[in-house]
Structure 1
Amino acid sequence: MERVDFMTNESGDDLIVSFAVSQGEPGEIRSLILQRTPKYEFLLDKSERGVSFSDEAHWEEGDWLRSIDFSREIVRIETQHHEYTLDVSGVDVRELKQAERILRKMNFDDAFNLRIV
């Protein structure tokens, strides 16, 4: 399980939920980013629609979110290529609540399995 130090969330044309994963040394993080742009998705091929996923440690092109289990302590993410278990117990509750709202917006078409506990 990896510890998340903080999160960054955006809710504009781009919907973004980003986890800053601790890398051991103070201030050293790795970003895990979920991103969707519903406003422009109709312009894309169906295979390019949905929530894209990026991890600084694995830059596979075209990795997409399949499922996310989201609680105030643990987040489990499954993509096409990887699975992650994140400890978010130290993250500010306001950031977690904002992420929940954005994840619901991202899943307007049930593109992935979303479970919020």
Structure 2
Amino acid sequence: MLEAGIELHELRPDAAACQRLIRVSLACAKRPAFAPHSKSLVLDRRVVYVGSFNLNLRPDSSWQVLQRQSGGLEWVTEVDGREVRDTHEPMTGFWKRFSSRLYRLFPLEKYL
């Protein structure tokens, strides 16, 4: 999607805005037990909108996911007015990233 020029944002569960966006404040914990839902709209088979109107995509509440020129992904956000960049998925530990890479070895994409 990124290679096609799509702008992609992910909600940060640690964001200050999370308390305002999510009714159950426990969902804003470090390891939230929620997943934002999306709404889709397809117009004349050329224009597609996938998103949720109830999420705030400002830098203080989300990461923007970018494709690096050298390959791989980069997560960009803003903390205390400063731009912060990560080359691995934020708020994930070694085992989470390891298991994610392990699952890539299996041909699961056709089942999604």
Instruction: State if a TM-score over 0.5 links the two structures.
Output: no
Higher RCO, Cα 8 Å, sep 6+:
1
Q: Normalization by structure 1: what TM-score?
A: 0.29
Determine which structure has more spread, i.e. the larger CA radius of gyration.
Answer: 2
